[in-house]
Structure 1
Amino acid sequence: MNTQHRFQLDFQKTSEYCVKHNESKIQIGGRTVCKSCCIESVQVGNKKHQDQVDHSIREKHFASAMLPTRYADCGFKNYNITNDGQRISKAECLNFARTIISGGSKNLVMTGRTGTGKTHLACAVARNVMNNKKYARYITSEDMATDVSNAWKKADDSEASAIYRYTEYDLLIIDEYGLHDQHESRLQLVHKVLYSRYDAKKPTMIISNFTLAELRNSLGDRLWSRLQHDGLIQVECNWADARLSA
């Protein structure tokens, strides 16, 4: 028997009528249905399933970025602006996010005292980038140095592999640069990641409580030069600690 005929369902038009689609209903499998209604139902079901899959992927995508829980919902819309410096900083970070989304490889350094909203803006950048199907990763400089230095202790890892992992992200945000990473050997590991990302033309965001001059001195002339090669946005947050005034 022909396979096509074997699986063909027996249906016939009925006297019932679908007002919605202006067509006769058919009888199939003992049921009277509108063919167009059935097609719409399947399409709606498929879309609902795809939406669930997309939502699950998005949640895993955002979770892998490791944004701090306190800042997980921080965006540009809920960034509080009370002075011109904050307005400029937000604009620069928004421009940086758009550059990454369009495939650019600029870098950004953000300096200033604690409590000035640097991490909020960094997470806003990350969220915008990830909403456009790019991969971002947030990590402190200390934790990244520790992860890379401990790689050799694992049977299935190495320093090179660890550096490669941090190189793969479309955006890497290194927070608290200079806080607990100034031992020469640890600082070298952080710099190796930065050099690797420069070679791969991947944008990096560095956040520090250093002044801009102190950060440049810590990074060194060779690395500072490389950060500027594809364009370097410099954001200085010099206003008061918002946590103390809260």
Structure 2
Amino acid sequence: MRQRASLPFLAAGLLVIAGPVAAQQGGDLLGALSGALGDAPAGSDAAASLSGRLLQLIALITVLSLAPGLLIVTTSFTRFVIVLSILRSAMGLNQTPPNIVLTAMALFLTFFVMQPVFEDAWEDGLQPLLDNAITEEQAVPRIAEPFRRFMTANTRPRDIALFQDIAARSSGEAGQEEEEAGPQEPGWRELVPAFMISELRRAFSIGFLIYLPFVAIDLIVASILMAAGMMMLPPVLISLPFKVIFFVLIDGWYMLAGSLLESYLPIAGAAGAG
């Protein structure tokens, strides 16, 4: 189980390490395939095989180039990075922790939450594809299905209904047919933007609750300085160490990380078991 769980991390590491080399070799291979395709007789089996390999290579390069965007729009990364950024602003720290630290923390929290989804995608779709047990057309829906379950479970029905209604009106479908058919499973066109606005809503709600105690500290310090007649002394300069020590004393990182993970774990576990 531990070996199977480490496969997504190993694959991600290999992509990062071998990315530049794969890009260079992919360009050389693309040129070789293009030349071989031009030399092959039209309509022959060799030309069909080379055309299929050329399309697979183009699809692979496209997926690799879209991987960062897919990570943001189909996982919990958005909520984590926004909450961590709001926390830094609430404490009044401009560049501490640095952006790379916040991004890395959000990334590994995302891997922790999404591990059951990654395992399902690997076992149901990617591993059979690599073993030549299924075709690419069969593998793509199997790989995407765990992500669909996760996103649907973490998206408000109201947000999904919004985009389904707009999509139906833009395509000219009659509302009477939808009422007769009942609620339909959302497609990727409706699910992705609905998931994004749901994540943004939750992230800003959490950020508001994080901001409140730090605003209270700023108000207390400002009131004390005003009462002491220190008009020219910036309150932020005095309240910053108090906010930092307050966050440390309540074990803020432990509480924040635990709360963020617990907001996903039951749903992610159910999605992975499904």
Flag whether TM exceeds 0.5 (same fold): no
Structure 1 length normalisation: TM-score?
Answer: 0.30
Which protein shows a greater Rg?
A: 1
Higher strand fraction (1 or 2): 1
TM-score normalized by the length of structure 2: 0.27
